[in-house]
Chain A
């Protein structure tokens, strides 16, 4: 990602550097502006400690909506605003009379939105945002008349402010202590989640109230309910114990390919762009590969962002409703006290699998946009030394992401299968949003 980010930025700078002194400047490509900001955002997600997967998904939704709204207003006859389609989202401010430059508009909008949604990143991230804004300000404004620049920047900033004001009321704006409450009451009984880590913060579950956040496209947090997991039992032959034994035996005989899959989709917070960022990374790779025009990029980014954010709201609702014990707890208690999973067990209840739900939602949206048998390469973790993986479809990638959690020893089968189903249901709400007409 680092190398691709630099390449992306270098391309933007080259637009300016290549200009002959007297030549008519070429307008900057708004699609490039979108990709460049998103590549930086994927780094900011990785390097801003508050950005656990649910928090990251929220930022992706609002950034996507911001980008779509300024793109949609450039051609309202063929592009529909999400106002009135997303929960409580009012119509954004209109454009002022006069010409706008779409690259300048997008840069202003994404600059303001990124600064807001990543305002608590550290000094390095702040430097990077400032550098990106400064350099793209220069490249996008090259050769434009001052009035157009000012009008375009004002409009982009106004739409960002509009989205930011809407976001402020969703319940997820303020995340304290990286999302870990200072006190929490555990549900008694062996079936329920208990801390699995020796990290102090993680003695509490992550974001237990996240399901109270306002959903985006689905009508309510429990719009896509799940059947309960198999009834808890320690009895040999029971369905629950069979699931635990599947995790245990699979983990003890992992093939190299299964280990690679587990690591490829591990997407650990603060060490990767997180699971929602992984799907955003897939999308922008495809957008660059296929040179998608800006309206197709922002449409896809908005609907994918919404699907991911709704997926975490819906998934968290189910997680804290069922409050199921993690495999490591059960297996250490019932089967093998020395067993440890390959992956680090996340600090929240087990059922359903978050990666499965959000991957199912992402696959539904992207399959709707690009088609069912859309093949692609996934280079999300290339800079971290993991190989590029090829997938014949988005659903195949989602299925692999889901089963990776069993290989990694952090989820039972039911959480994976039901998570994918929940994600499909949630993704349909985002997929049905009307955008390009």
Chain B
């Protein structure tokens, strides 16, 4: 009689379909001139974000990096199109941005006042800030002008959406541990806040009670009803009686938690980051939740059910997306995962998955040499790890990050913020395979110029790819950039935008390898 021998490596890497083309990432941290670290001890064990957005008008995103105990800093993108990455910091002549605050943990770009100039939400250990963009990468404090109460907390998560009829976005801010309980923080999670506008100013924030030490938030239209809900990833290390959460958000009504009676299923993880994408082309977003050890890839259990219930199956193990332990470097202890983002890094028409990894801070039960993950999606929906082969398997202690096209060549590059170590930047040099792409800017009249919580759809190669335009998710990091789609061999595609009010633009035939703007 035979005996079944279980071996972890066999379980962790299903090899079912033809492996996708691996992009080559060149580490250009040194040559790019990016010299920055997110620093700090206990109050900076979470956070460490980067905002990526164009504030200079050249269609190439600048970077704003959280500094923790060091000041935040803006880095102007001077990379030639398709060329090596090049950034200039303020100290080198970039000019005073008005962003050099200390205590910064997270950064998200958005156009709060819909004036066409990108603003910034800056989450801090201390008072949070809304910073109004003035143009040419300069910003000014706008808390008073917009009636925004920045509070005084250990803020750790952010999301924004425009509720129907609102001039300003509704802002959700996640808060972490009570800083006064530094010796005994367990059970001391402080209230999250919902900042809703009343005309051109914000009202006093609503506490989102109960709150369970949020580390990521995302407004997402999970059931396509046209009104996003607020998903929150919570850190079970510190809450008592907590779980992952999703809130109903109805105009002029208090937020209300989804309940078990509505189908919500209790899940308790070290929730640290959220990524969303319609991976299986069924019209609904799937969610990837980062944690410690196993991560979660959630797929609706019954997308045909009516009413649709928020019941998700975790398919991370089956799809090879668990990313549970280091795949290189020799450590067998489990990993610690933070920022996560679905993007098509090899332009084959299937979203891939980046995960920033790094020990919290000398956690002996978890890997210290913990490489970032780059998981490429195969045609059958499974994932294969290529972080080492692609060249992004850094062993620094990562936190935030951004997968974004920094040099306007259509291949998505990578920036990662490390804790108490230099931030890193990689240029995607592409693959050997055909990798056409298209990128779509959605623009509608004010408010909500960038159509946040609308959808961009692209048809090519017999499938319809969809992306929800969101502000939030990831870990401490946000991007305001065109929605990127890989097209593989297709040299053109059809595209349309489903606007936040539910109306849709006409399908348009567009040439590949270009950034297009669709206007309402």
Which of the residues B6, B42, B324 comes within 8 Å of A204, measured between beta carbons?
B6
Interface flags for A1-12 (1: CB within 8 Å of B; 0: not) read: 111011001000
Interface flags for A44-75 (1: CB within 8 Å of B; 0: not) read: 00111110000000000000000000000000
Asked whether A185 and B4 contact (CB < 8 A) given A120-B364, A200-B322, A203-B11, the answer is: yes
A168 interface hit (Cβ, 8 Å):
no
A131 interface hit (Cβ, 8 Å):
yes
Please tell me the number of chain B residues within 8 Å of chain A, measured between CB atoms: 45
Looking at B54-62, B97-105, B179-187, B403-411, the stretch in contact with chain A turns out to be: B179-187
In A257-291, the 8 Å CB interface with B consists of 270-271
B305 interface hit (Cβ, 8 Å):
no
Q: Please indicate the chain B residues that have their CB under 8 angstroms from the CB of A271 in the complex.
A: 236, 268
Interface flags for B445-472 (1: CB within 8 Å of A; 0: not) read: 0000000000000000000000000000
Q: Please indicate the chain B residues that have their CB under 8 angstroms from the CB of A183 in the complex.
A: 5-8
Which of the residues A178, A187, A204, A383 comes within 8 Å of B365, measured between beta carbons?
A178
CA distance A56 to B413 in the complex (A): 45
**Contact assessment for A123 and B6 in the assembled complex, using a CB-CB cutoff below 8 Å:** no
CB distance from B181 to the nearest CB of A (A): 8
In A159-195, the 8 Å CB interface with B consists of 176-178, 182-188, 195
In B162-195, the 8 Å CB interface with A consists of 181-188
28 residue pairs from A and B, CB less than 8 Å apart:
A1-B240, A2-B187, A2-B188, A3-B187, A6-B184, A120-B365, A122-B364, A127-B42, A127-B182, A128-B183, A131-B183, A132-B183, A178-B365, A183-B7, A185-B3, A186-B3, A188-B3, A188-B4, A198-B294, A198-B316, A198-B318, A200-B293, A200-B317, A200-B325, A271-B268, A383-B187, A384-B240, A386-B241
A77 interface hit (Cβ, 8 Å):
no
A364 interface hit (Cβ, 8 Å):
no
Please tell me the number of chain A residues within 8 Å of chain B, measured between CB atoms: 46
CB distance from A133 to the nearest CB of B (A): 11
Q: What residue in chain A is nearest B361 (Cβ atoms)? A: A123
**Additional 4 contacts, C-beta under 8 A, given A178-B334, A183-B6, A386-B241:** A120-B365, A199-B293, A201-B294, A203-B11
CA distance A46 to B242 in the complex (A): 14
Asked whether A182 and B8 contact (CB < 8 A) given A120-B364, A177-B332, the answer is: yes
Q: Please indicate the chain B residues that have their CB under 8 angstroms from the CB of A1 in the complex.
A: 186-187, 240
CB distance from B391 to the nearest CB of A (A): 25
A124 interface hit (Cβ, 8 Å):
yes
Asked whether A2 and B365 contact (CB < 8 A) given A198-B314, A203-B6, the answer is: no
In A195-237, the 8 Å CB interface with B consists of 195, 198-201, 203-204
CA distance A46 to B236 in the complex (A): 10
Which of the residues A3, A119, A124 comes within 8 Å of B185, measured between beta carbons?
A124
In B1-59, the 8 Å CB interface with A consists of 1-8, 11-12, 42, 45
CA distance A392 to B365 in the complex (A): 40
Q: Please indicate the chain A residues that have their CB under 8 angstroms from the CB of B42 in the complex.
A: 123-124, 127
In A6-32, the 8 Å CB interface with B consists of 6, 9
Q: What residue in chain B is nearest A123 (Cβ atoms)? A: B361
**Contact assessment for A203 and B365 in the assembled complex, using a CB-CB cutoff below 8 Å:** no
**Contact assessment for B364 and A119 in the assembled complex, using a CB-CB cutoff below 8 Å:** yes
Q: What residue in chain A is nearest B323 (Cβ atoms)? A: A200
Q: Please indicate the chain B residues that have their CB under 8 angstroms from the CB of A5 in the complex.
A: 184
Q: What residue in chain B is nearest A186 (Cβ atoms)? A: B4
CB distance from A66 to the nearest CB of B (A): 22
Q: Please indicate the chain B residues that have their CB under 8 angstroms from the CB of A187 in the complex.
A: 3
- Which of the listed residues B4, B6, B42, B314 has the most CB atoms from chain A within 10 Å of its own CB? B6
CA distance A384 to B322 in the complex (A): 28
Q: What residue in chain B is nearest A189 (Cβ atoms)? A: B1
Q: Please indicate the chain A residues that have their CB under 8 angstroms from the CB of B182 in the complex.
A: 127, 131
Interface flags for A379-400 (1: CB within 8 Å of B; 0: not) read: 0000111100000000000000
**Contact assessment for A127 and B8 in the assembled complex, using a CB-CB cutoff below 8 Å:** no
CA distance A43 to B5 in the complex (A): 37
CA distance A128 to B188 in the complex (A): 14
CA distance A183 to B7 in the complex (A): 5
**Contact assessment for A200 and B8 in the assembled complex, using a CB-CB cutoff below 8 Å:** yes
CA distance A303 to B292 in the complex (A): 35
- Which of the listed residues B292, B318, B360, B364 has the most CB atoms from chain A within 10 Å of its own CB? B364
B333 interface hit (Cβ, 8 Å):
yes
**Contact assessment for B293 and A188 in the assembled complex, using a CB-CB cutoff below 8 Å:** no
CA distance A177 to B367 in the complex (A): 10
**Contact assessment for B360 and A201 in the assembled complex, using a CB-CB cutoff below 8 Å:** no
The 10 closest A-B pairs by CB, nearest first: A2-B187, A131-B183, A385-B241, A120-B364, A198-B317, A384-B241, A200-B324, A383-B240, A49-B365, A123-B361
**Contact assessment for B294 and A200 in the assembled complex, using a CB-CB cutoff below 8 Å:** yes
CA distance A187 to B322 in the complex (A): 26
CB distance from B28 to the nearest CB of A (A): 33
B501 interface hit (Cβ, 8 Å):
no
**Contact assessment for A50 and B317 in the assembled complex, using a CB-CB cutoff below 8 Å:** no
Q: What residue in chain A is nearest B314 (Cβ atoms)? A: A198
CB distance from B497 to the nearest CB of A (A): 36
CA distance A195 to B236 in the complex (A): 24
Q: Please indicate the chain A residues that have their CB under 8 angstroms from the CB of B2 in the complex.
A: 188
CB distance from A257 to the nearest CB of B (A): 17
Q: Please indicate the chain B residues that have their CB under 8 angstroms from the CB of A9 in the complex.
A: 184
Q: Please indicate the chain A residues that have their CB under 8 angstroms from the CB of B185 in the complex.
A: 124
B363 interface hit (Cβ, 8 Å):
yes
**Contact assessment for A123 and B363 in the assembled complex, using a CB-CB cutoff below 8 Å:** yes
**Contact assessment for B183 and A48 in the assembled complex, using a CB-CB cutoff below 8 Å:** no
In A107-129, the 8 Å CB interface with B consists of 119-124, 127-128
- Which of the listed residues A49, A184, A186 has the most CB atoms from chain B within 10 Å of its own CB? A49
In B305-342, the 8 Å CB interface with A consists of 314, 316-318, 322, 324-325, 332-334
**Contact assessment for B6 and A122 in the assembled complex, using a CB-CB cutoff below 8 Å:** no
Asked whether A122 and B363 contact (CB < 8 A) given A2-B240, A128-B183, A200-B11, the answer is: yes
**Contact assessment for A123 and B362 in the assembled complex, using a CB-CB cutoff below 8 Å:** yes
**Contact assessment for B12 and A200 in the assembled complex, using a CB-CB cutoff below 8 Å:** yes
CB distance from A308 to the nearest CB of B (A): 22
CA distance A81 to B236 in the complex (A): 41
CA distance A167 to B185 in the complex (A): 30
Q: Please indicate the chain B residues that have their CB under 8 angstroms from the CB of A386 in the complex.
A: 241
CA distance A20 to B8 in the complex (A): 63
CA distance A121 to B324 in the complex (A): 20
Q: What residue in chain A is nearest B362 (Cβ atoms)? A: A123
B237 interface hit (Cβ, 8 Å):
yes
Asked whether A122 and B360 contact (CB < 8 A) given A2-B188, A178-B365, A201-B324, the answer is: yes
Interface flags for B351-366 (1: CB within 8 Å of A; 0: not) read: 0000000001111111
Interface flags for B204-237 (1: CB within 8 Å of A; 0: not) read: 0000000000000000000000000000000011
In B250-268, the 8 Å CB interface with A consists of 268
CB distance from A7 to the nearest CB of B (A): 11
CA distance A128 to B292 in the complex (A): 21
Q: What residue in chain B is nearest A132 (Cβ atoms)? A: B183
Q: Please indicate the chain B residues that have their CB under 8 angstroms from the CB of A128 in the complex.
A: 183-184
**Contact assessment for B361 and A122 in the assembled complex, using a CB-CB cutoff below 8 Å:** yes
Q: What residue in chain B is nearest A268 (Cβ atoms)? A: B268
**Contact assessment for B236 and A182 in the assembled complex, using a CB-CB cutoff below 8 Å:** no
In B79-115, the 8 Å CB interface with A consists of none
CB distance from A200 to the nearest CB of B (A): 4
- Which of the listed residues B45, B187, B314, B318 has the most CB atoms from chain A within 10 Å of its own CB? B187
